[in-house]
Amino acid sequence: MEVIYQLNDIQKVYAGRTILDLGRVEILRGEVLAVVGPSGAGKSTLLRLLNFLEEADRGELLYEGQLVGTTLPLAMRREVTTVFQSPALLQDSVETNVAYGLRLRGIGGSQAAVGAALEQMGLAHLRKVPARTLSGGEAQRVALARAIVLHPKVLLLDEPTANLDPYNIGLIEQVVRDINQREKTSIILVTHNVFQAKRLAHRVALLLNGQIVEMAPAREFFENPRDLRTRAFTNGEMVY
């Protein structure tokens, strides 16, 4: 498989503390990569780097073979979209929220695209409803609809099903599978839920204290990990 992101000895430092120290990491085109690890491990920070929202303090990040920095063209930056950990919706209707990214990009005549994204997320009936009246699961689905309507090449998901009920979890997981299979979207999924990683990911990475302890095909990661800490984490036995 082709490499879409190449990370070479990336370090991120906040206030003198090294938050990420990643060595050499390759993320592959078309894969679903789950990133698991305890709170504070650096998972969201990693997604911010991958979405070009922050720069590393050391090392190199290449996206599609191009060094990421101020020179990465806007068109390439826009290929990557994140659904953040606690997504904020506009104080407006559901459909306005979903159309928002398209409008920012000056894409007109987007009604059909918005309709399709709402349909895919099971939100068609809530199209006109004010976003502030939505339940947590519905709001999370709007955030995902707002991302998928852009048809990103890379979709970064930060805990997309945290605090949701089984129905919403199932629906969101199905959409993740569908867009990965049908649109070949590369997906990096940050999750606390090892079962979700098992259900969705081709490969899984365990991040501990800013370092990747193990990154392996899902089967190997769960059934035959190389690192004892991986087993402890997947068995829920890790103390942190």
**Helix, strand, coil share of the chain (percent; to 5):** 35, 25, 35
Q: x/- string (CB under 6 A) for ligand ATP, residues 102-141? A: ----------------------------------------
CB 35 within 8 A of CB 46: yes
16 binds ligand ATP (CB under 6 A): no
19 binds ligand ATP (CB under 6 A): yes
160 binds ligand ATP (CB under 6 A): no
Quick count: other Cβ atoms within 10 Å of Cβ 98?
Answer: 30
44 binds Mg ion (CB under 5 A): yes
Query: Comparing C-alpha atoms, which of 198, 188, 122 is closest to residue 159?
Result: 188
| Nearer Cβ to ligand ATP (39/70) | 39
Query: Comparing C-alpha atoms, which of 184, 112, 192, 133 is closest to residue 158?
Result: 192
162 binds ligand ATP (CB under 6 A): no
- 3 state SS of 216: strand
Q: What tokens appear for 205 in the block? A: 């990475």
Q: Which residues pair with 154 in a beta bridge?
A: 80, 186
Indicate which of Mg ion, ligand ATP, none lies near residue 15 (CB less than 5 to 8 Å, by partner kind): ligand ATP
Alpha helices in 33-128 (DSSP H): 43-50, 74-77, 94-104, 111-120
Taking the complex as a whole, the smallest distance from the CB of residue 120 to ligand ATP amounts, in Å, to 27
Pick from 7, 22, 27, 43: which binds ligand ATP (CB under 6 A)?
A: 43
Indicate which of ligand ATP, Mg ion, none lies near residue 39 (CB less than 5 to 8 Å, by partner kind): ligand ATP
Pick from 1, 2, 9, 14: which binds ligand ATP (CB under 6 A)?
A: 14
Indicate which of ligand ATP, Mg ion, none lies near residue 193 (CB less than 5 to 8 Å, by partner kind): none
Phi-psi region of 24 (alpha: psi -120 to 50; beta: other; left: phi over 0): beta
Binders of Mg ion among residues 46 to 85 (CB under 5 A) are none
Strands 32-36 and 203-208 turn out to be parallel
193 binds Mg ion (CB under 5 A): no
70 binds ligand ATP (CB under 6 A): no
Strands 154-158 and 80-83 turn out to be parallel
| Nearer Cβ to Mg ion (44/209) | 44
Residues that bind Mg ion (CB under 5 A): 43-44
Residues that bind ligand ATP (CB under 6 A): 14-15, 19, 37, 39-45, 85
